[in-house]
Amino acid sequence: MSKRNDNESEAGTEKLDGKPIRLLIVDDETDFLNAIARRLKMRGFDVVTADNGQTAIEIARKQKFELALLDLKMPGMNGKQVLEILKSEHRFVEVVILTGHGSLESAVECTKLGAFGYLPKPYELDDLIEILKDAYTVRMKKKFEADEDRLKNILSLATGGSALGILRALKKLDTPEK
């Protein structure tokens, strides 16, 4: 049984309808950051990087991401702080923590804060890709359920009331996606 090398990609596994999964990677170790970004780009992800938490938050406020991969221990704003902000400002983003300074306590704390997964460094690339795929699947389920609830609300509005009343109610439902 042969292992795939980094230049090979499983067709369609990191894309939805031909669009790559948008991934924000945050790590203060620039050599590691560049290496993991390059490896995930070769696997079909659309990767944006930040070497600190504050920059990551600024980028996330300007661009939409489906997933984020965060280092836990960084100077300034740490991974837990970035996790909290991302989850509060971006409703459907799923976050995976990848750290060389992990513990059971920090894994539990990050999970309570909304992290989808927690992987120690060093990591196996296939394990990382698998957890990113799982996180993306969960993200899509949550988004689908939210869209389904929104559609039910719209349909219930459309069946009664005045046209102006319906428009006002629809406007309230038409909030920008986080």
pLDDT for 99 equals 87
pLDDT digits (tens, 9 = 90+) for 109-168: 999 999 999 999 888 999 999 999 999 999 988 888 877 777 777 667 666 666 666 666
In a domain, residue 62? The reply is yes
| Domain containing residue 45: CATH number | 3.40.50.2300
Mean of pLDDT values over 78-84 = 95
Vertex 169 angle, CA 165 and 171, to 5°: 115
* Residue 102 CB neighbour total at 10 angstroms: 17
pLDDT at 143: 83
* Three-state SS letters, 60-103: HHHCCCCEEEECCCCCCCCHHHHHHHHHHHCCCCEEEEEECCCC
- pLDDT given at position 60: 97
Residue 153 sits in the same domain as residue 133: no
SS3 129: helix
pLDDT value of residue 159: 67
Summary mean pLDDT of the chain: 83
Say yes or no: 97 and 157 in one domain. Answer: no
Q: Would you say residue 1 lies in a domain?
A: no
103 in the same domain as 54: yes
Indicate if 76 and 90 belong to the same structural domain. yes
Please tell me whether residues 28 and 74 are part of one structural domain: yes
Residue 32 lies in a domain: yes
What is the domain count for the chain? 2
Same domain, 153 and 75: no
Closest alpha carbon to 90 in 30, 173, 146: 146
Predicted confidence (pLDDT) per residue in 7-22, tens digit: 333 434 455 556 899 9
Do 105 and 79 form a contact (C-beta atoms < 8 A)? no
At residue 174 the predicted structure's pLDDT band, cuts being 50, 70 and 90, is: low
Which domain does 93 fall in, by range?
17-142
Residue 30 lies in a domain: yes
* pTM for the full predicted model: 0.76
Q: How far, in Å, CA of 43 to CA of 129, rounded? A: 9
pLDDT of the residue at 23: 97
